[in-house]
Amino acid sequence: MCLAVPVEITSLLPGAMAIGEHSHVRLEFSVALLENPRVGDFALVHAGVAIETIDEESALETLAMLKEVLDGPGR
């Protein structure tokens, strides 16, 4: 139910479609469900449709949290 990959939007097409890239694979998908899709955004694509944009700030927070775990008292 959940196989979705983060795809970097490389161009926007008419009809609420976009082209993006994930690990050297180019795919075409719908961005009709995204509020304000932009080139450079990372979209979560499932079965040919972008269901959400990956929030960069949250991603960085997650990274920082993980780093803390590694450095922290859990050692």
- Of 20, 17, 22, the closest CA to residue 9 belongs to 20
User: How many residues does this entry show for the chain?
Assistant: 75
Dihedral of alpha carbons 28, 22, 3, 33, sign: negative
Stretch (H or E) spanning 56: helix 56-71
Mask: binding to other proteins, 28-47, rule CB under 8 A, as x and -? xxx-xxxx------x-xxxx
Q: How far is the CB of 22 from other proteins (least distance, A)?
A: 5
Q: Does 10 engage in binding with other proteins (CB under 8 A)?
A: no
Residues forming contacts to other proteins in the complex (CB under 8 A) are 1-6, 8, 22-30, 32-35, 42, 44-49, 51-52, 54-56, 58-63, 65-66, 69-70, 72, 74-75
